[in-house]
Amino acid sequence: MNTTVEKPPFLGFGLGLRTPHYNDLLDPDNEDAAAIDWFEVISENYLVPGGKPLQVLDQIAGRWPVVMHGVSLSIASTAPLDYDYLDALKRLAARIEPKWVSDHLCWTGVHGVNLHDLLPIPYTEEALEHIAARVIEVQDYLGHRIALENVSTYVTFAHSEMSEWEFLSELARRADCWVLLDVNNVYVSSFNHGWDAKTFIDGVPHDRVVQFHVAGHSDMDTHIIDTHDHPVIDEVWELYDYALRRCGPVSTLIERDDHIPPLAELRSELDTARRIAAPVLQAAE
Stretch near other proteins under the rule CB under 8 A, chosen from 136-144, 157-165, 207-215, 277-285 = 157-165
Judged by CB under 8 A, which of 102, 156, 251, 252 binds other proteins? 156
Here's the x/- map for other proteins, 228-267, by CB under 8 A: it reads as ----------------------------------------
Using the contact rule CB under 8 A, the part of the chain among 24-32, 108-116, 173-181, 204-212 near other proteins is 108-116
Min dist. Cβ of residue 269 to other proteins (A): 24
Are 247 and 209 in contact, with CB atoms under 8 Å apart? Answer: yes
**Interface with other proteins includes 225 (CB under 8 A)?**
yes
Burial of 92 (0-12, 13-18, 19+ CB in 10 A): buried
Q: Should residue 281 be labelled a site residue for other proteins when binding is judged by CB under 8 A?
A: no
**Which candidate, 157, 222, 153, places its Cα nearest to that of 184?**
153
Separation between Cα atoms, residue 148 and residue 45, nearest integer Å: 19
Quick one: which of 148, 207, 219 has its CA closest to 177?
148
Q: Which stretch binds other proteins (CB under 8 A): 33-41, 121-129, 137-145, 275-283?
A: 121-129
User: What letter does residue 231 receive in the DSSP assignment?
Assistant: P
Binding flag, residue 271, other proteins (CB under 8 A): no
109 binds other proteins (CB under 8 A): yes
CA 140, 143, 144, 148 torsion: positive or negative?
A: negative
60: number of Cβ within 10 Å: 20
d(CA 250, CA 218): 26
| Residues engaged in binding other proteins (CB under 8 A) | 44-45, 47-55, 72, 74, 76-78, 82, 85, 107, 109-117, 119, 121-122, 124, 126-127, 130, 154-160, 163-164, 166, 192-196, 199, 203, 222-223, 225
